[in-house]
Amino acid sequence: MSHSATSSPPSTPSLFLLPRRHNFASPQSLSDWLKPRLPSDSFASWGIKPGTKNVHNLWLELAEGETSLADSTPPIRTVQVVTVRVAGKHGKFLVEAYQELSDGNVRKRGRPLSEKMKPNEDPESAAVRAIREELGSVIIGGGEAGVIEVEDIVRIDPNSYEMRVEEKVSDSYPGLPGCYVLHTVCATVEGLPEGDFCTYEVEEYGASEEKNLADKAVSVKKHYWTWVSADSIKP
């Protein structure tokens, strides 16, 4: 289920602050809280079923303020997501075909570049960060800091902003209902390959202070990209 909301970007980040319900001391305390609130077979599949994440991932999302959980049965996970429709030549748009994960599994995507937003982050800043993190290995000299400033080669259309809310059960966390606030912008990025290509994720949870826990989370190692026509992109 989805609901369209606005075509104007938020004037202040505070309009989209996530409600923070719980601070869990550890992934184990989060697991103990979730178990009686979720279908047992669904929860047991986290990190086991190919393409899913585990409780360490969700704990890190909560710890970094990217996600909130409502105190309900089942809990509802709310997350702010920026989606970047990167335009290329001949009316094509960039789509992530699939991801290679740290556990060796492959997760199908079939959607434009997207990234969870940080607390107090506006959509344009989140879009630039998402481009740097997911496409940086092919546009900034193989990831060497200072070779090219991403801000210098990214152009975001200020009139392209759209926001909608989508409610569905999470693919990453089976059995967990999600409320996704989707912020979409269109952009152009100089220096991208014209054909299919892949990029490397540089330590998806590298900025986390909980490095030992981040190592137990399922992370993305490679992104595989392709160019498609506009009418091929999922809404």
Provide the residue ranges of all domains of the chain, joining segments of one domain with +.
27-232
d(CA 77, CA 49): 20
Q: Quick check: 84 and 185 in contact, CB under 8 A?
A: yes
For residue 233, the model assigns a pLDDT of 80
Q: Which residues of the chain have pLDDT under 50?
A: 11-19, 142-146
Is-contact 38 58, C-beta < 8 A?
A: no
User: 27-232 has which fold?
Assistant: Nucleoside Triphosphate Pyrophosphohydrolase (3.90.79)
Q: What pLDDT, on the 0 to 100 scale, is given for residue 140?
A: 66
Q: Is the pTM of this model over 0.75?
A: yes
* pLDDT value, residue 148: 64
**Residue 83, amino acid:** T
pLDDT for the residue numbered 89: 86
Per-residue pLDDT tens digits for 218-235: 999 999 999 999 888 876
